[in-house]
Structure 1
Amino acid sequence: MDDDPGRLTIRRSPNRWVLLSVSLIAWAVGATAVFQLSLVLPALRAETGMSLALAGALVGVANGGLTVAMLGWGLFADRFGERCAMSCGLSLCALLLCVAAATDGVAALFAVFALVGATASSVYAPSGQAVVRRFPVRQRALALGLTQTATPLSSALAAAIVPGVAAAYGLSVVWLGMAGLCLLTALVVFLFCGQPRADETPVVTASGGAEPVPWRRIYGACALLILPQSTLLTFSVSYLVDDRGWSPVQAGWLLSGALLLTVLTRPLAGYLADRLGAPLGLMRIFAFGNAVVLLFVVIGAVTRTWLGTVMVLVACVSTITGYGLASTAVAGFAARARLGRALGVQHTLQSLMTTAGPVVLSAVIGKAGYAGAFAVIAVAPLAGGALLPVAAERPGQSRQQCSSTSVEGAPARMAWWTRRR
């Protein structure tokens, strides 16, 4: 067994696609446990008498709990395994949602949903960790890209179901139903997300364990590259309504279409990164390309033409697609024992930027309009792309590793990806 601390281990198992499906479901359910609050604001105000500002603050508290706990769950997964992290977190989330269903006080709801966010965050880093540890390096970006489709898929499904259920049956039914879904998912995770074996096949990380990992550059680039995505998702509907004269329904459908399109583009980008063996290099290409796309968005916003409408749609898809490679890049540099921590830090920074970025950009919109805000975020992918430590990545390493290691004792030349080539 190799003692090199710079090595990650994976398991080639016939059940790895089942595990990917379980990780995707867990991610979707955990994300929906928090996102559903945004969908029940009318029912929440009607049943509790909250003002819109107070109801919005409740959503913010839940997201704050999610952000604060992400790193902790990553460390927990490193120590006890991703199965334990996800099943325990979702079980606790189910219990807290049952408490929320029986709670009438506003202050109690704030406390409960802060904890709901904290427990729901147990799915993010551990689900990525589970996928990374069990997929060969030549399939890792594709596998993570498929896992990340959980967010747009669950958001679209929840938006279609949750508001109607809340209006017809009340909040208690929504929260009890969500609790049941969390508990069922926790059971599925416990049954099908087995712990990694000690003799799993080693896969060398990008750093190889011989050189210091440029974590500051990696995390800094990830933080910058998430800013355009979060800003566009927050303000695209407002821009189309205020500047382009669209109805809110039409603008909402356009944004939904963009999100659903990323269900195809994220795995496609992952597949391309696997073929190239250089996710950081592909991230840089996307980053610089997104800067160009955002420049056209600015031109469209200034001229108030159809160009702005079209390019906002393109920008939403391209920024989400490019950022989907971030987890693959982080995993490529992380040692096996610290994979949960590395992914936890990345998700924490992502959540912080998603929360803080739109707040700052809303002030820019108030002063300089949408064109000014789009111009500001166009700088972020340029800076983030330049900051990516592409030189630290070894593009040929993943291909070399696939041809030089064995899979569960079989000669490497018999591995399926080698035969395909």
Structure 2
Amino acid sequence: MSGRRALALALLSTGYGGMPVWLAAGFAPQLTAELGFDDVGLGAAVGLYFAFSALIAVPAGRLVERVGWTTGVCLTTGMSAAGLAGIVVFADSWATLACCLLVGALANGTSQPAANLGIASVIPLRRQGMAFGVKQAAMPATTLLVGLALPVFDGGSWRGAFAVAAGVAVLVCLWALTLTTAQRRARPYPAPDDLPAAARPGRRRPMRPVVVLAAAATLAVAAATSLGGFFVVFGVDRGLTPAQAGHLLALCSVVGVTSRLLVGYLADRRGRRHLVSVAAMMVAGSGGLALLALDAGIGPLVLGGLLGFGLGWSWNGLFAFAVVLNSQGSPALATGIVQAGMGTGAAAGPLAFGLAIEAWSYSVAWLGTAVLLLAAAAAVVVARRMIARHR
């Protein structure tokens, strides 16, 4: 398989792993009004989605290593399509929405192991930094598409957006299925001498640093998913219309996509100190989240959103590259461990954020997320030192 096809499938797998929940978050003002729940309910629904993703992440990583990454992409897009279609047909309350999101959460469990194994197996090591940047750009690209969809499907037609996304997911699933069939007729992966270094079989490195990185990911993703899940409703709370908040989300997402691509490009040229860069981005992103806590008009909202999406949520690609690079022989399993941490953070973060809004205010909630990103940066530095000792 060509590197371009592998990267395209990795990109689509990552995007559709989170598509159901980000569509629900983007259309939250319409969903909460029609289905009858509040910010706490939104946080609980998002939290359940990521909690279930965390629960199945490690088994999903082992499954992808056994069945192959193209089959993993097929599973991801197929389950995402089922969850999206379920929302279109069945969602008439918070409970039915949450059940459909749990179906979509199955896709989130397999999306990252499949995408990361595909990149590690097919794309040369010298280009993997950019490849992981492109792959992780799928997340802000998804929120960008959601932001652009808000004005198009405004006025109570939100089910149409879910239906379109489900249809495209089915097409991607069929494409992955044809490639899976073709690979089974030929050699499924390159011979060992052709493999990038991170994917070559051999002595597995200790997993303890990966566990610490998973803890860092838990904290950082708790902050990032709160940003993605509540940014639109926060903008509306600050006086924007849903369409204006959607346009701002789209702008911030463009910055996030650009940042991930740039970071991946620089990683390939620099070739080292990737985790140091990750920690620095988390620290800078925490400043953006702190700006959102200021009740001082639109300026802090725009600047905080740009910094939050551009740095506080753009470390993922470089982070994934570093995990795979330091997990020789088991990239999908290591991804599953980290994904379990990410799922835990993504589950707890939005729920805690919603409860903080109800108990105190948006300002307190945003300050809490800024502290989480600072703590994540510290954990990344600790993990880097552990990795250095094992070399």
Partner deviation per Cα, 1:262-305 (whole Å, 9 max, x = no partner): 21111211121222222xx2332342464356458758967959
Q: In the alignment, which residue of structure 2 is the partner of 1:161?
A: 149
1:331 Cα offset (Å): 0.5
Q: Are 2:313 and 1:320 equivalent residues in the alignment?
A: yes
Q: Are 2:204 and 1:217 equivalent residues in the alignment?
A: no
Q: Are 2:323 and 1:330 equivalent residues in the alignment?
A: yes
Q: Are 2:129 and 1:129 equivalent residues in the alignment?
A: no
Instruction: For 2:100 and 2:354, locate their aligned partners in 1 and report how far apart those are by CA, in whole Å.
Output: 29
5+ residue gaps, structure 2: none
1:85 Cα offset (Å): 1.9
Q: In the alignment, which residue of structure 1 is the partner of 2:368?
A: 373
Q: In the alignment, which residue of structure 2 is the partner of 1:4?
A: none
User: Quick one: which amino acid aligns to residue 75 of structure 1?
Assistant: R
Q: In the alignment, which residue of structure 2 is the partner of 1:384?
A: 379
* SS of residue in 2 equivalent to 1:388: helix
Instruction: For 1:46 and 1:382, locate their aligned partners in 2 and report how far apart those are by CA, in whole Å.
Output: 38
Q: Is the 8 A contact 1:149 1:262 kept in 2?
A: yes
1:258 Cα offset (Å): 2.2
Q: In the alignment, which residue of structure 2 is the partner of 1:272?
A: 266
Q: Is the 8 A contact 1:286 1:318 kept in 2?
A: no
Please, which of 140, 145, 167 is the counterpart of residue 180 of structure 1?
167
Instruction: For 2:336 and 2:241, locate their aligned partners in 1 and report how far apart those are by CA, in whole Å.
Output: 35
Q: Are 2:15 and 1:28 equivalent residues in the alignment?
A: yes
User: Quick one: which amino acid aligns to residue 283 of structure 1?
Assistant: L
1:139 Cα offset (Å): 0.9
Change in CA separation of 1:323 and 1:162 when aligned onto 2, cut-off 3 Å: same
Instruction: For 1:321 and 1:28, locate their aligned partners in 2 and report how far apart those are by CA, in whole Å.
Output: 14
Q: In the alignment, which residue of structure 2 is the partner of 1:85?
A: 72
Instruction: For 2:164 and 2:236, locate their aligned partners in 1 and report how far apart those are by CA, in whole Å.
Output: 34
Please, which of 279, 282, 285 is the counterpart of residue 274 of structure 2?
282
Q: Is the 8 A contact 2:120 2:324 kept in 1?
A: yes
Write out aligned runs for 1:212-361 (5 A): 212-213=206-207, 214-234=209-229, 247=240, 253-278=247-272, 281-288=273-280, 290-291=282-283, 294=286, 298=290, 310=303, 313-336=306-329, 338-361=330-353
Change in CA separation of 1:186 and 1:392 when aligned onto 2, cut-off 3 Å: same
Please, which of 139, 143, 150 is the counterpart of residue 131 of structure 2?
143
1:199 Cα offset (Å): 4.2
1:40 Cα offset (Å): 4.7
Instruction: For 2:164 and 2:246, locate their aligned partners in 1 and report how far apart those are by CA, in whole Å.
Output: 26
1:72 Cα offset (Å): 2.8
Q: Is the 8 A contact 2:290 2:370 kept in 1?
A: yes
Q: In the alignment, which residue of structure 1 is the partner of 2:102?
A: 114
Higher mean displacement: 32-41 or 261-270:
32-41
Coordinate RMSD, CA, aligned: 4.0
Q: In the alignment, which residue of structure 2 is the partner of 1:201?
A: 194
Q: How many residue pairs were aligned?
A: 375
User: Quick one: which amino acid aligns to residue 313 of structure 1?
Assistant: L
* SS of residue in 2 equivalent to 1:335: coil
Instruction: For 1:228 and 1:54, locate their aligned partners in 2 and report how far apart those are by CA, in whole Å.
Output: 16
Change in CA separation of 1:166 and 1:77 when aligned onto 2, cut-off 3 Å: farther
Write out aligned runs for 1:33-72 (5 A): 33-41=20-28, 50-52=36-38, 56=42, 57-72=44-59
Q: Is the 8 A contact 2:145 2:250 kept in 1?
A: no
Higher mean displacement: 24-33 or 198-207:
198-207
* SS of residue in 1 equivalent to 2:189: coil
Instruction: For 2:220 and 2:376, locate their aligned partners in 1 and report how far apart those are by CA, in whole Å.
Output: 5
Change in CA separation of 1:389 and 1:239 when aligned onto 2, cut-off 3 Å: same
* SS of residue in 2 equivalent to 1:247: coil
Identity %, equivalent residues: 20
Q: What TM-score results when the alignment is normalised by the length of structure 2?
A: 0.77
Change in CA separation of 1:235 and 1:175 when aligned onto 2, cut-off 3 Å: closer
Q: Is the 8 A contact 2:231 2:249 kept in 1?
A: yes
Instruction: For 2:284 and 2:101, locate their aligned partners in 1 and report how far apart those are by CA, in whole Å.
Output: 40
1:140 Cα offset (Å): 0.9
Change in CA separation of 1:19 and 1:179 when aligned onto 2, cut-off 3 Å: same
1:53 Cα offset (Å): 6.7
Q: Is the 8 A contact 2:16 2:80 kept in 1?
A: no
Higher mean displacement: 175-184 or 197-206:
197-206
Change in CA separation of 1:248 and 1:381 when aligned onto 2, cut-off 3 Å: farther
Change in CA separation of 1:200 and 1:155 when aligned onto 2, cut-off 3 Å: farther
Change in CA separation of 1:286 and 1:167 when aligned onto 2, cut-off 3 Å: same
**Bigger CA radius of gyration:** 1
1:92 Cα offset (Å): 4.4
